[in-house]
Amino acid sequence: MATRRSDGRSWTPAVLVAVLALAFGGVLVAIEVASRRAAADTSAQEAEAEVAVTRNARAYGAAVVATGDRAPTDERLAAVAEGTQVEVREVRRAPDLVVTVYGSAPFGVVFGVSHVNACHRVTFHDLGAARAGADVERLEVCPPPAS
């Protein structure tokens, strides 16, 4: 009767390699999931910052209208801007008062903080009257700061 002879090889190294490969794959999947989650969080925070900058520009328009001035001076426009977290970049007075304001809002990123920077054109109509108002429009390019 013939007996089988063991060739002396062990399955331990092959099993160890398989376990390490699975663990490595699991780590890679976890890193990918975490990075996608962080990117989604960053995008949401950036969108919130965009909304905050626009909200500040609208608040500036409402604050200027609330002063009741028919023709606010540049100094008055700048003083109102300080309370609404925007900076006056440009003032035009013909045919209507048009003010370009710059705003910035921070948002978190993986390694620190970034900012959304934007300019808005605030066009005022009927200042000093009961139906006074302001229209706010985001600009693609900001004019340089006023000197």
Three-state secondary structure of 70-126: CCCCHHHHHHHHHCCCEEEEEEECCCCCEEEEEEEEEEEECCEEEEEEEEEEEEEEC
Q: Which pLDDT score, from 0 to 100, does residue 52 have? A: 93
Q: Which pLDDT score, from 0 to 100, does residue 147 have? A: 61
Show pLDDT as tens, one digit a residue, over the chain (147 residues).
555 555 667 778 888 888 888 888 888 887 887 777 777 676 778 888 899 999 999 999 999 999 989 989 999 999 999 989 999 999 999 888 999 999 999 887 777 788 889 999 999 999 988 899 999 999 999 888 766
User: From CA 136, how far away is CA 132, in angstroms rounded?
Assistant: 14
Q: Which pLDDT score, from 0 to 100, does residue 31 have? A: 80
pTM, full prediction: 0.71
Q: Which pLDDT score, from 0 to 100, does residue 65 have? A: 94
Peptide bond into 144 cis (omega under 30): no
